[in-house]
Amino acid sequence: MGLTECYKILSAHLVEGTLKAGESIKIRIDQTLTQDATGTMAYLEFESMKIDKVRNELAVSYVDHNTVQVGFENADDHEYLRTVADSKGVIYSRAGNGICHQVHLERFALPGKTLLGSDSHTPTAGGIGSFAAGAGGLDVALAMAGVPFQIIAPRVVGIHLTGHLQPFVSAKDVILHVLSHFGVKGNVNTVFEYFGDGVRTLSVPERATIANMGAECGVTTSLFPSDENTLAFLKAQGRENGYVPLMADADAVYDEVFDIDLSSLEPLVACPHSPGNIKKVKELEGMAVNQVLIGSCTNSSYMDLKKAAAILEGKHIAPSVSLGVAPGSREVLLMITEDGTLETLIRAGARILESACGFCIGNHQSPGTESVSLRTSNRNFYARSGTASANLYLVSPETAAFSAISGTFSDPRKSDSDISEIKMPERFIIDDSMFIMPTFSEAIRRGPNIGEPPRNTPLPETVKGHAVIKVGEKITTDHIMPAGARLKYRSNIPRYSEFVFESVDPEFPSHAASYRDQGESGFIIAGASYGQGSSREHAAICPMYLGIRAVCAVSIERIHQANLCNFGILPLLFKDEKDYEKIDQGDELELTDPLSSVATGEFTLHDITKDLLIPMTLFASEDQKKTLLAGGKLNEVRS
């Protein structure tokens, strides 16, 4: 039986375990990337391992999330990241060089390689044929230390593409269509692998858009074949030496196949407050739009901006609309400057924003009260924009640009512009001067906001306390640990912990801390798909700091589950989902004999208030069980 592309890459990197869907395996990681918001913790953790320099093939540290610099914290973090990169052998991508995933795709990602990044959109590099996964900072730090990465060998869903996209229908519409079918939960330990004739009609940046938002389905990664288009992209980046052809065998068998006829797709939109809430643009036509933002690691490539500019050319945005454009990288910015696209955008009324995450993470450009914001980014979670009452809609650059002109939701197929000639250039402008190569000569500099990552205590004999919070399903890491204005505290756990569950229950930090200070263990009770969204390990570290010892949920997403284990928080699943209903916030809870329960994986949760015994399953691999007993990976690697 032939192999899928996914299993070809995994078997070339397998270090431990059997390559069979559902089995726990360990793989060698070739490349790593970090970004500044998760990177400071990752490098502090790496430093605590007392290793002189990184041991994987390539490690890159990007600065793209916290570039607002209100106050000293961001700049101090950048300086720490620059100096620690220099001393540990990491390439440093300075602020201004662009968004990690866009820049990595342009300058480093290669077919057949494994890439681990401390950001959930690392799978963007699947567009070029890398097996690229997101992880918490500690797992990336370990990969930099040369430690193999543990995953569950995935089931592979083949997404069979035929036909070709119609004018004004875009790669974003492909992934929104995938989201409408697979949804945002229930896809853990799965890889989406694209194949079929339709693949050849998509350029690498278009494939990257599709792979990027596979993260919203919760899959481990998404993969495209490496073919003549991959070679063309690598040539245009002056990197054709790294090309290897790679695809599934003709007789490869997928666990499931989903067919998409690209010719039949039409412009789609993800409606508030979930990327899985999909409608057709034409269903919303006429609805007033207040803000349009084009950018983010999903849709900020050169062709994305060229297409948006072609639609805007000779026109002006509606008076009621604010249009912002953030080129994904300095390369994209140089390209659009040279060929006049930038001027077209400016003349149409666009506000040119920094090549960074910016609006996508709620760092700026918060929309007005109850306003409608159209964005080309990938997440429209509640309150992520910084304005809780705003409604965020995720669309393609074509839909965004065309709607900005009329000030209402508009189907771009009605545009009179011609975008059919916009193709990938044969050569991009290559200027690597914003990468700093390590010299191993700098002393590491730490500002006052930068503190040690806290350690948990080993799992105690008694885990007894209260249900500090009870939340529903699809709780994202943005609900748990807000970003935006709070991002600047990423390197300061005590301060950042004051904002845990800020948009859900602002009293949570004080309640949790007061239980903790009385010597109790805190519990979080949650519905399905807890911890979806980002890789931020702070969504585990900060609750841990506040005394949380167990998350009892209907289901937990992959990266968050790993982060919980890494910091010694027990991820427990209800054996019978209906038991979730029986526990109330504030109930007194105890885990019966936690130490021996870790070994068996079978726990009993005693709801003392209701006098109920609830069976739970520990959601952890054998290695993770050891980590949980030790109270987290930092205790393991330091001992």
Nearer to ligand SF4, 122 or 415 (CB): 122
Strands 588-591 and 463-470: what pairing? antiparallel
Residue count, binding to ligand MIC (CB under 6 A): 14
- Phi then psi dihedrals of residue 150, to 5 deg: -95, 130
Nearer to ligand SF4, 99 or 562 (CB): 99
**Binding to ligand MIC, residues 373-392 (CB under 6 A):** 379
Nearer to ligand SF4, 103 or 247 (CB): 103
The Cα–Cα gap between 266 and 473 comes to 30
| Interaction partner, residue 111 (ligand SF4, ligand MIC, none; CB < 5-8 Å by kind) | none
> 195 with 248: CB under 8 angstroms?
yes
- Element holding 573 (H helix, E strand): strand 570-574
> 42 with 51: CB under 8 angstroms?
no
- Asked if 119 is part of the footprint of ligand MIC (rule: CB under 6 A), the reply reads yes
Binding segment (CB under 6 A) for ligand MIC, from list 267-275, 302-310, 441-449, 531-539: 531-539
The Cα–Cα gap between 160 and 196 comes to 5
Task: Identify the residue among 5, 45, 119, 579 touching ligand SF4 (CB under 6 A).
Answer: 119
Q: With b meaning 16 or more CB within 10 Å and e meaning fewer, what string describes 244-264?
A: eebbbeeebebeeebebebee
Nearer to ligand SF4, 296 or 371 (CB): 296
| Interaction partner, residue 99 (ligand SF4, ligand MIC, none; CB < 5-8 Å by kind) | ligand SF4
To the nearest whole angstrom, how small is the minimum distance from the Cβ of residue 135 to ligand MIC?
9
- Strands across the sheet with 14-16, in order? 14-16, 24-27, 149-152
Nearer to ligand SF4, 69 or 585 (CB): 69
**Binding to ligand SF4, residues 283-322 (CB under 6 A):** 296-297
The Cα–Cα gap between 428 and 447 comes to 38
- Asked if 532 is part of the footprint of ligand SF4 (rule: CB under 6 A), the reply reads no
The Cα–Cα gap between 286 and 410 comes to 7
* Residue at 447: amino acid letter: G
The Cα–Cα gap between 202 and 170 comes to 10
453: tokens are 């990552």
> 33 with 100: CB under 8 angstroms?
yes
The Cα–Cα gap between 599 and 147 comes to 24
**Binding to ligand MIC, residues 133-152 (CB under 6 A):** 134
- Asked if 521 is part of the footprint of ligand SF4 (rule: CB under 6 A), the reply reads no
Strands 435-436 and 463-470: what pairing? unpaired
> 213 with 134: CB under 8 angstroms?
no
**Binding to ligand SF4, residues 360-399 (CB under 6 A):** 360-361, 377-378
**Binding to ligand SF4, residues 51-90 (CB under 6 A):** 65
To the nearest whole angstrom, how small is the minimum distance from the Cβ of residue 392 to ligand SF4?
12
Nearer to ligand MIC, 236 or 360 (CB): 360
| Interaction partner, residue 377 (ligand SF4, ligand MIC, none; CB < 5-8 Å by kind) | ligand SF4
> Which residue's C-beta sits nearest to ligand MIC?
534
Residue 422 DSSP SS3: coil
Binding segment (CB under 6 A) for ligand SF4, from list 274-282, 357-365, 412-420, 446-454: 357-365
Binding segment (CB under 6 A) for ligand MIC, from list 117-125, 322-330, 442-450, 573-581: 117-125
Q: Which spans of this chain sit near ligand SF4 (rule: CB under 6 A)?
A: 65, 99, 119, 121, 296-297, 357, 360-361, 377-378
